[in-house]
Structure 1
Amino acid sequence: MDVRELTEEQKREIKSVYDSQVKNGCPGLSQKQTRSALLRLGIKPASFDIEKFWFDLDKTEDNYLTLEEFERLRCEINSDPEVVLRWAFNKFDTNNDGTIDKDELKKLLATVYDDSEGEWVDDEFVNDCLVLADGNNDGVLQIEEFVDMLIQRTTGKN
């Protein structure tokens, strides 16, 4: 959804929730306040959802979201996990070739597992994940393989 598609009522509700969460003297919402605000709007985001959108939306890089940035977040966080997974795929497909190779998968897994030191996400783990998800055995993940694997793992759907 685009911010321009918000109704006046939705904008008022977002502003009301935003204003109720911003503390005196703060320039906007922190990540914790953002999560609380989204919950008040009936959206139950995972911490990962907020983090992955945060760096795209916090244009001032002050670790706070303005009302306009929060409106965009509200529009971008979607309850449809396939939409979010397709977005994530495109973020990690850094060479824009339409696939996720081993290096991109390693970066993705390190982000998901918060493992910048490589303690959990080593080459063996990456290879194991690739073998499990790579349905056509071409050594890379296409978007459909990526989405199908994660939808199946998170929802139990086949």
Structure 2
Amino acid sequence: DSSDGELELSAVRHQPEGLDQLQAQTKFTKKELQSLYRGFKNECPTGLVDEDTFKLIYAQFFPQGDATTYAHFLFNAFDADGNGAIHFEDFVVGLSILLRGTVHEKLKWAFNLYDINKDGYITKEEMLAIMKSIYDMMGRHTYPILQEDTPAEHVERFFQKMDRNQDGVVTIEEFLETCQKDENIMSSMQLFENVI
């Protein structure tokens, strides 16, 4: 019976929202969205990326290290609705923020990445988990800054700078305020703007 097969296929393949709607939600043109969608469908024919696939794709960019843990955190930041899969919409909305978003939008996205349990606070444990995953991903010998400086020291400096009221957690307000006053952070936010 072919109708069973068709039903299964339609359940597996995810159709993205209309282009007009995505264009309204992002800072991409229709042409850019079509091009991104072709690339996405090429890598992910079902229209969905699960975490394992995401880790495999991401690992290709960091052959000298282990990107598994960082890719896990990144996957969760892209998987906006927390359903265990990245749809094209999730991907393109996140990408739009990272590439073309305002500084405020990019910082909110970064805060969401660091706030692993999504409770509205960054704890030292969360920050340390992220730092260790970046350290693993970069490989021990490729990034001198990380070599001389252990993830724990990095976290301590981060908290000295960010945790204004010294309550042991960083709120979104503390994060935004500190980042916007830090020239190094601000210049690194501009790096990705002209990628596409």
Coarse TM-score class (shorter-chain normalised): 0.5 to 0.7
Q: Which runs of 5+ in 2 are unaligned?
A: 1-16, 45-56, 59-72, 80-84, 141-145, 188-196
TM-score (norm 1): 0.53
* Equivalence for 2:128: 106
Q: 1 or 2 for the larger relative contact order (CA 8 Å, sep ≥6)?
A: 2
CA contact (8 A) 1:134 1:141 kept: yes
* Cα distance in structure 1, aligned partners of 2:114 and 2:31: 34
Q: CA RMSD in A?
A: 4.0
Alignment length (residue pairs): 123
Residue deviations 1:116-147 (CA, integer Å, cap 9, x gap): 27854332332222112211111211111112
State the percentage of identical aligned residues.
25
Among candidates 135, 138, 150, match of residue 115 of structure 1: 135
* Equivalence for 2:170: 141
CA contact (8 A) 2:74 2:113 kept: no
C-alpha change, 1:16 and 1:54, in structure 2 (3 Å) is farther
- Look at both structures and tell me which one has the larger radius of gyration over its CA atoms: 2
* Cα distance in structure 2, aligned partners of 1:54 and 1:96: 10
Structure (1 or 2) with the greater helix fraction: 2
CA contact (8 A) 2:97 2:105 kept: no
* Equivalence for 1:86: 108
* Equivalence for 1:97: 119
CA contact (8 A) 1:106 1:121 kept: no
Among candidates 145, 156, 161, match of residue 127 of structure 1: 156
* Cα distance in structure 1, aligned partners of 2:150 and 2:95: 31
TM-score (norm 2): 0.45
Q: Which amino acid aligns with 1:115?
A: Y
* Equivalence for 1:10: 29
